[in-house]
A and B are shown apart, each in its own frame.
Chain A
């Protein structure tokens, strides 16, 4: 039973355009959400987070949106750059350090 789902295994976007990566969750107790980026042969690295008391968090080109009623979060990358090509994981927790990860979305930014 996947509590965190990333239904798009892959996404291709033209350089300079917006990339939108989606994540759905089922557990209403989740109160903190993370996005990690992973390059090949490297470990995941933290990208951006959002608490359930917010609906938006922005860091430079990266913005995460949280829709609690829909149990949905999304990561927007604007503008997309070739260096953003990686696998992106969303993760969720409920007040602890135990995070449930999605299966990842592979983003390819085309030059």
Chain B
């Protein structure tokens, strides 16, 4: 199993630009999570999908952030326009309710907005 795959691994962009982060969950997993890691706040849950449907987006910081899951094998997190304070590591994770109660994380995307 390839695990959760995120791309790109690193992204450097200028303030005001659109940024799209991508995630391929583990095959068969029907729950997907986007997290953001910062030094000050640790790991914060941004949004949670179940069976491709957004269940809880209360962690999305503001309207500049949006996430989609068009099918069971792909999700995107988009920031438009990006700001320097969005600089962080963004993780995608997936799991399946019939199995473990913990999620499997991808390697993350380190975003730097200059």
| Also in contact, A98 and B4, with CB within 8 A (given A32-B101, A43-B107, A43-B108) | no
- The SS class assigned to the B binding surface is strand
Alpha-carbon separation in the docked complex, A91 to B101 (Å): 12
Question: In this assembly, does A34 line the interface, its C-beta being within 8 Å of a C-beta of chain B?
Answer: yes
Stretch of B37-45, B61-69, B70-78, B80-88 contacting A (4+ beta carbons < 8 Å): B37-45
Closest to B40 in A: A103
Closest to B108 in A: A43
Q: Across the A-B interface, how many residue pairs have beta carbons closer than 8 Å?
A: 56
On chain A, the number of residues with a Cβ less than 8 Å from chain B's Cβ atoms is: 22
Residues of B within 8 A of A32 (CB): 101
Alpha-carbon separation in the docked complex, A41 to B37 (Å): 12
Q: Which of B40, B41, B56, B105 contacts A44 (CB 8 A)?
A: B105
Q: Which A positions have Cβ atoms within 8 angstroms of B?
A: 6, 32, 34, 36, 41-46, 49, 89, 91, 93, 97-104
Q: A49-B102, A101-B43, A101-B45 are in contact. List 14 more A-B contacts (CB 8 A).
A: A6-B42, A34-B102, A36-B102, A36-B105, A41-B107, A41-B108, A43-B91, A44-B91, A46-B102, A97-B48, A97-B103, A101-B44, A102-B42, A103-B41
